Structure 1
Amino acid sequence: MKKTITFKNMARQLKADLGGKDSYRGVTLTYTWLANQFGHFSLGFIPAFIAFLIMKPHMAPARASLNAACLISGTWLVFETINFLWPLTLGRKGGVKSYVFQPAWGNVAFDTITDLLFFWLGAFFCSLLCYDTPLARGVVMVTATLILYPAYYWYLTKMYLQAPGYPFQFRLSQWSTEHIAPEDIKLIKRFLDSNTMGMHLFLFGPKNSGKTSLSVAIATELSIRHYSAIYTSAMKLYCMFFEQDDDNTADVLWTWRKASILVIDDINPGDPVKEDLITSERFLGFVDALSTRDINRTALKDTNVIWVLGNDDKDRKLSANWQDMLYSIGVERDKMLSLNLQRHVPAARGARSKGEYDLQMQS
């Protein structure tokens, strides 16, 4: 059975984020999200307090406190609206039509609304402290109530994003190539939107063709949808084939066998390395470890897997060989998808503008 994150897992993660020193243990995505939202609250509170001090000598304290909160809240509304629309549309070369994969607009809009709620809560909480008015009290109560679900959703989402161990933060709308066939885009969307388990996507291509970026981007979108995922290199996975499942610690929410999405990177390097270091037959030999053969085969068969391999061509028939290997362990042919990136050269692989950063993991 595939694993999900429970309230107990969230409570344990929250306890870890709120206690201890990050100077020696590092920071997590959940900790970063908490710090980010505290920053949004502070950027509502502090400017509102400064504005109140400026307005107070010129008007009644009650009016000054409300005007300051409204001024700062309105300023952040305008700023966030521009910050949401400009980098992703008018400020991007080619505009909306330049995306190979459209951004998850609803997801980004929800993130923007969440930020605004924290801005407004900070501004009107400041107003309430400066001068207690029914309006400020009401706005604080309503805003604090509205924040509850977004806070739960985003904290949970950050847990789904940090558990896989992705090597970098990258969303699908950031991945671009100069040319990609419409059928290839449909193939990726088919893998993304499939409601059945046991789908397998093979990504072939040479060095710098964007295989890893694309695999991470696809898996990231599924993590944001709250699918349990694991990212690993082939070398690490070979050792994991021999391990028994142990996901009872705070650091291990699920093992590769209990994940819904598995990304296997660096199975073979591709050009300029011509030789395939691992063949499909050799890979199956690792799968069939003496004590874990059956559970390894079942896990691979029933998990959605992204395979990142080297070059493929008509003579080598790598795609056919790997599909035959999966078929031998019970994977149906119509659940195997193959995409060759050899003819696709990313236009800006790994390049991220500020707007694209906003699009990726702050949401």
Structure 2
Amino acid sequence: MKKVITGKDIIRQLKADLIGKDSYRGVTLTYTWLANQFGHFSLGFIPTFVGYLILKRHLPEQQASLYAALAVSLFWLTFEIFNFLGPLLSRKSRSSYIFQPAWGNIAFDTVTDLMYFWSGAFMASILCAYTTTAMAVLAVLTLLVLYPAYYWYLTKMYLQVPSYPFQFRLSQWSTKHIPDENIALVRRFLDNKDQGMHLFLFGPKRSGKTSLSVAIATEMSIRHHSAVYTSAMKLYCMFFEHDDDSAANVLWTWRKASILVIDDINPGDPIKEDIISPERFLSFVDTFSTNDINRTVLRQTNVIWVLGDDDASRKLSERWQDMLTGIGVEKEKLLSLNLQLYNEAPAKAEYDLRMQS
């Protein structure tokens, strides 16, 4: 059964974010989101307070507090509209995307930010000089922000559990000459409603394999799919582990994930030899001698395989597909994408992101 995040998981994470010192435990994505929203609240609160101090010299205190909140709210509304519509309406910006951003998701994020800006502004208005209008607006905003707060906090949990090596969305991945059929394969994998879809990513070094795999999995995580990112070497050890969630300090193991990214199976050019063959990989899969649990999990999980080069002479794609069909994966659920080094843009982005992480 694939794992989903429950209410208890959210409360436990919230306690961890609010209690304790991040100086020794690190900063999570959920903690960062909370701090970000507090920043938005403050950017509404502080300017309103300053505006009130200026306006009350010329207006009654209640009018000054309300006008200050309205002015600050209007400013942030104008700013966010420009910030959102600028890239959306720019023809040059739209044409630069191989995969279009999830504009609906971005719009929802923009509205969420505005709610926090406005909440801070009207909270300051109430504290400076109480008005029923400001109180009514704040009450409505408080009710409206409950679902976005739940959604985004939950989404950040889905994003932080997989331990991606860097934060990277699909719209950031760019290669000028990627064929349309490759784009269609990625979309087919993303939009697949069933479990057990497999996507092979072949290509030499600096072709953007890892960044593309992380980008695809990130989009799935944002859709609230449980994901795990791992290198092949780590996964080989995981094959030996018993599936005991209570013993692991994680929300789900690789066997409970709905999408699995297996990176660095083979390095690719300039290293010509394949370190791991399909046959050798299957021998690690079968390390559980008592049952075929590893085969079952691989058969029922959406998997992105990051491999080395593929060419007509070695027929690696066929061999890896044969390995999966041999354990019961349906052939129509096998997708293979061979990336070529069309330019260095994705590879440079991947390198820069690795250095930042």
TM interval, short-chain normalised: over 0.9
Structure 2 counterpart of 1:281: 279
1:310 is aligned to 2:308: yes
**TM superposition shift of 1:133:** 0.6
Structure 1 counterpart of 2:137: 139
Structure 1 counterpart of 2:24: 24
Q: Does the 8 Å CA contact 1:210/1:345 hold for their aligned counterparts?
A: no
Distance 1:200 1:42 in 2: 45
1:115 alignment partner, one of 113, 116, 119: 113
Structure 2 counterpart of 1:359: none
**TM superposition shift of 1:150:** 0.1
- Unpaired runs of 5+ residues, structure 1, are 353-363
**TM superposition shift of 1:86:** 2.5
2:213 alignment partner, one of 183, 192, 215: 215
User: In structure 2, do the counterparts of structure 1 residues 108 and 26 end up closer, same or farther at CA, with 3 Å as the change threshold?
Assistant: same
Distance 1:318 1:350 in 2: 26
2:33 maps to amino acid: W
User: In structure 2, do the counterparts of structure 1 residues 4 and 350 end up closer, same or farther at CA, with 3 Å as the change threshold?
Assistant: farther
Counterpart mapping for 1:100-179 below 5 A: 100-179=98-177
Counterpart mapping for 1:47-62 below 5 A: 47-62=47-62
Distance 2:96 2:242 in 1: 46
Structure 2 counterpart of 1:41: 41
**TM superposition shift of 1:167:** 0.3
Q: Does the 8 Å CA contact 2:205/2:268 hold for their aligned counterparts?
A: yes
**TM superposition shift of 1:291:** 3.7
2:264 maps to amino acid: D
Structure 2 counterpart of 1:224: 222
User: In structure 2, do the counterparts of structure 1 residues 168 and 89 end up closer, same or farther at CA, with 3 Å as the change threshold?
Assistant: farther
Q: Please give the secondary structure, in 2, of the residue aligned with 1:52.
A: helix
Counterpart mapping for 1:54-93 below 5 A: 54-87=54-87, 90=90
2:233 maps to amino acid: M
Q: Please give the secondary structure, in 1, of the residue aligned with 2:57.
A: helix
**TM superposition shift of 1:349:** 4.3
Q: Does the 8 Å CA contact 1:40/1:115 hold for their aligned counterparts?
A: yes
Distance 2:344 2:22 in 1: 36
**TM superposition shift of 1:83:** 1.6
Q: Please give the secondary structure, in 2, of the residue aligned with 1:86.
A: helix
**TM superposition shift of 1:351:** 4.1
1:266 maps to amino acid: D
- Unpaired runs of 5+ residues, structure 2, are 351-357
**TM superposition shift of 1:347:** 2.9
TM-score (norm 2): 0.95
User: In structure 2, do the counterparts of structure 1 residues 85 and 253 end up closer, same or farther at CA, with 3 Å as the change threshold?
Assistant: same
Listed one character per residue, the Cα deviations across residues 186-240 of structure 1 (whole Å, up to 9, x for unaligned) are 1110000001110000000000100000000000000000000000000000000
Distance 1:32 1:170 in 2: 16
Q: Does the 8 Å CA contact 2:201/2:307 hold for their aligned counterparts?
A: yes
Q: Please give the secondary structure, in 2, of the residue aligned with 1:246.
A: coil
Deviates more, 1:343-352 or 1:178-187: 343-352
Q: Does the 8 Å CA contact 2:206/2:348 hold for their aligned counterparts?
A: no
**TM superposition shift of 1:346:** 4.8
The number of aligned residues is 350
Distance 2:135 2:162 in 1: 42
**TM superposition shift of 1:292:** 6.0
Q: Please give the secondary structure, in 1, of the residue aligned with 2:292.
A: helix
1:14 maps to amino acid: L
User: In structure 2, do the counterparts of structure 1 residues 350 and 138 end up closer, same or farther at CA, with 3 Å as the change threshold?
Assistant: farther
In percent, how many aligned pairs have the same letter? 70
1:199 is aligned to 2:197: yes
**TM superposition shift of 1:274:** 0.7
